[in-house]
Structure 1
Amino acid sequence: MPMIAVLALDGLPGHHLTTPGLVFDTAARAHPGVDYDVRLCAVGGSDAVRLGAPAPAAVLPYGLADAAEADVLLLPAHGEDGARPEPALLDAIGAAAARGARIGACGTGVLTLAATGLLDGRRATTAWRHTGELARRYPRVEVDPGGTLVADGPFRTSGGVFGGLDVCLRLLAEDHGERIAGRTCRELLSPLTVHAERVAEVIDRTLADSSGLDATLEWLERSLHLPLAPADIAAHAGVSVSSLNRRFLARTGLSAPRYLLRLRLQRARELLEGTDEPVEAIAVRTGFASPAALRPHFARLTGTTPRAYRTRHRAGAPGGKPLAARSATT
C-alpha cells in the first residue's frame, strides 16, 4: 500500500489538509485494488498545526519522522511569512527525493520545495500571485505562470486553487490510470450545481497533464512533417476532438490545430536561421505542401517571406516580428 505523507505547515487552508484524503479515499471506496495510507504530518515540532480561518488549529496524528518512508510527499499551501523552511523539513524532502519518492506541491508549498534546490533547472508553477516571488527567490527554477499542473521528473506542482486536487488526481492517474482518476474527479465534482459543460471543462483542466498530453506534445514535435488532422492528434491522445481542444486550451492557450501551426512555423524559422536547406525542403519538413502553402502563414506572423527572413537574419537585421508577439492569432 503506497504511503502518502501530507506535510502540514502553519497557516495552511483547511481544505488543503483534507483534499488528499478525500481524493484517495473516494478512489479506494469506488475501485477495488486502489488503496493508500494517507498520513497528515505536523512539521513544526508539535502535533498541532495552525490553520487559516475559520478553523484555528488542528491536532494531527503524525509528525515529520512518520514521513521517513513515504512513497509520496505532498506540500500543501501554508502561511506566507517568507521565512526559510526549517532545515529538518528540507532534509526530509531531500531524503525522499533521493530514495525515489514522488513529491507534489501547490501554492506556497512550491516555494518550500524550491528552497531545497530540487527544482533548479526544472519547470514548476504555483498560484499566480506567487509566481513572481518564486522566480525572484529561486531564479534557477523555470517558472510556468499558468498555474495549471506541471510535471517535471518526480515533481508535481500546481497553483492549488482546489487544495491540490489536480496534483492528487495526477498521482492517482499515474498509479491506476486515467479512467479511475477521471471517475474520481467526476464523483468529487458532481454535487456542484454548475452546467454540465462547465464540469467537463473543469475535469479537462485538472486532468490535462494526466491524460497523456505530455506524450502527445512530444509526438507533435517529432511529427511536423506529417499531414496531421485534429482527428489524428485526438487519436494519439486517446480523447475526442472537442475534449482534445479543451485540454490544449487549458495547457497551451491554443487549440490543437493552432498549436501545431505554431510549432511548424517555429521549426521553419529555426531551419531558415540555422541551415542552408532550400525553402522548398523546409516547407516539406515542417508539414506544408509547398513554399506557397508556407508563405502566407509565415508572412502573417513575421511580416516577411521565408526567403526575405533568411536574408535579413544572415545580414544581422531584425527578422520581423517574433512569434510570441502574435501567437494568439495562429
Structure 2
Amino acid sequence: MRLAILAYDQISPFMLSTPLAVFGEPFLASGHRVDVCAAQPRFSATGGLTIEAPMPLAAARNADVVILPGWRAAEEPVPAMITSELRAAEERGAIVVGLCLGAFGLAEAGLLDGRRATTHWACVESFATRYPEVAVDPGALFVDEGRILTSAGVASGLDCCLHLLGRLSGAAEANRIARHLVVAPQRAGEQPQLIERPAIGSSADRRITDILERLRADPASTPSLDELALRAGMSRRSLTRHIRARTGGSLGDWLRRVRLARAQDLLAGGARGLDDVAARCGFPDAAALRTAFRAELRITPRQWLARQRLD
C-alpha cells in the first residue's frame, strides 16, 4: 500500500508530522510506503524551518491513500494543483483524508458534497457558509465517510490517523502505536472537540487512569459503577463525570470500544467461534459482538477479518 502526504509552502510542521508519526516505521516495515509529495522539492514551514520533499506532487497519483495535512488559512483558497490531486485520488478509488483545515481542500475539490465532514471548530461557520452542500458536523473529532475522512483541529488529526490505521492494519496495531505515542487510543470520532479534562497528574486523574487500564487489561470483567466508584474513592456521580471528562463519553461507550479492540486481536490471532470470542471480550453473545462491529466499523466481523487477510 502506498500513502501520499501532500505538503506545501508554509505548512505547519506539527500537521505534517502527524501522519508521519502514525504511519511510521512499523507501517513501513510491513511493506507499505509513505511519500511526502510537494510542488517544489524545497519549501518553507512555519517556525522558520525549511523542508525538502523527496517526491513531486504528481507522485501522489500512484497512492492508495492521499492525506492533506491542514492548510495555511481558512480564507486562503487551496490551489488547483492540490485540489486536482485530491480529485484524481477520489476518482480512482483511493482514500482521501483532510486533516484540520485540509477539509477546505477536499471541499474545494468537490469531494465533500452530500457528505458529512468536520474541520477546526473555529472555522466551521465559514466552512458551512462557503460549502453549503456539505453536511458539517461542528463538534466531531473526525468523520469517516468510507473513502473520505476529515478531522477537526490539530491534535484530532492524530485521532483520525489512528482510526485510519485501525482500518488498514487492525485496532491492535492502532492501539499499540497510540501507546507508543503516549496518546489515548479510545477517542472516537463522535466525541466532542471541546471537552473538560481533569488536571494532568491530579490524584483523581491517576485513579481514573488506574481503573481504565485495569478494565483494558481484563475487558471481560463487569464491575458495576458502584464498585468502581468505591475503588476510586469517589461518588458514582463524580466517577461518571471524571470518566466522561477523560474519554469524552460514558464508561459503557469506552468499554465497548476496548472490548471490540480485544475481539479484533483475538480474531486476527486465529480465534474461532464468535460466541467464544464474545465471551472472552465481555460481550453477552455473538449477536452483541456483531452489533458492535457494525456500529463502530460499519462492517461485520467476517468482513473485517477478510480485509485483514487482504492487507
Which TM-score applies when normalising by structure 1? 0.56
Post-superposition offset of 1:58? 1.1
Indicate the SS of the match to 2:27: helix
Post-superposition offset of 1:253? 6.4
Residue among 90, 93, 104 paired with 2:97:
104
Indicate the SS of the match to 2:87: helix
8 Å Cα contact 2:7-2:69 kept in structure 1: yes
Superposed, 1:311-322 pairs within 5 Å as none
Q: What's the counterpart of residue 53 of structure 1? A: 47
Residue among 145, 148, 160 paired with 2:138:
145
Can you list the C-alpha shifts for 1:56-102, whole angstroms capped at 9, x where unaligned?
x2121111111111100001112116233222322221111011100
Measured in 2, the distance between the counterparts of 1:239 and 1:97 equals 41
8 Å Cα contact 2:140-2:189 kept in structure 1: no
8 Å Cα contact 1:3-1:72 kept in structure 2: yes
Post-superposition offset of 1:152? 0.9
Residue among 150, 170, 185 paired with 1:203:
185
Measured in 1, the distance between the counterparts of 2:90 and 2:7 equals 18
8 Å Cα contact 1:26-1:184 kept in structure 2: no
Residue among 246, 250, 268 paired with 1:255:
250
Q: Identity, % of aligned pairs?
A: 37
Query: What residue identity is the alignment partner of 2:250?
Result: S
Q: What's the counterpart of residue 32 of structure 2? A: 36
Q: Does 1:177 align with 2:173?
A: no
Post-superposition offset of 1:15? 1.8
Measured in 1, the distance between the counterparts of 2:26 and 2:124 equals 31
Q: What's the counterpart of residue 313 of structure 1? A: none
8 Å Cα contact 1:19-1:163 kept in structure 2: no
Post-superposition offset of 1:147? 4.0
Measured in 2, the distance between the counterparts of 1:11 and 1:64 equals 16
Query: What residue identity is the alignment partner of 2:186?
Result: D
Q: What's the counterpart of residue 229 of structure 2? A: none
8 Å Cα contact 2:15-2:154 kept in structure 1: no
Measured in 2, the distance between the counterparts of 1:163 and 1:13 equals 15
| C-alpha spacing 1:173/1:20, structure 2 compared with 1 (3 Å) | same
Which TM-score applies when normalising by structure 2? 0.59
Query: What residue identity is the alignment partner of 1:37?
Result: R
Residue among 69, 87, 90 paired with 1:76:
69
Indicate the SS of the match to 1:74: strand
8 Å Cα contact 1:16-1:163 kept in structure 2: no
Can you list the C-alpha shifts for 1:182-210, whole angstroms capped at 9, x where unaligned?
11101111xxxxxxxxx6xx3211xx259
Extract unaligned runs of 5+ from structure 1. Answer: 190-198, 211-237, 259-330
Stretch of structure 1 that moved more, 121-130 or 7-16: 7-16
Number of matched pairs? 209
Q: What's the counterpart of residue 13 of structure 1? A: 12
Indicate the SS of the match to 1:75: strand
Post-superposition offset of 1:26? 4.2
Q: Does 1:122 align with 2:115?
A: yes
| C-alpha spacing 1:204/1:58, structure 2 compared with 1 (3 Å) | same
Measured in 2, the distance between the counterparts of 1:184 and 1:110 equals 25
Post-superposition offset of 1:146? 1.4
Stretch of structure 1 that moved more, 76-85 or 140-149: 76-85
Residue among 143, 150, 159 paired with 2:152:
159
8 Å Cα contact 1:10-1:78 kept in structure 2: no
- Alignment root-mean-square deviation, CA: 3.2
| C-alpha spacing 1:160/1:38, structure 2 compared with 1 (3 Å) | farther
| C-alpha spacing 1:136/1:61, structure 2 compared with 1 (3 Å) | same
The structure with more radius of gyration = 1
Can you list the C-alpha shifts for 1:219-268, whole angstroms capped at 9, x where unaligned?
xxxxxxxxxxxxxxxxxxx88879xx99x969x9653889xxxxxxxxxx
8 Å Cα contact 2:74-2:123 kept in structure 1: no
Measured in 2, the distance between the counterparts of 1:162 and 1:132 equals 20
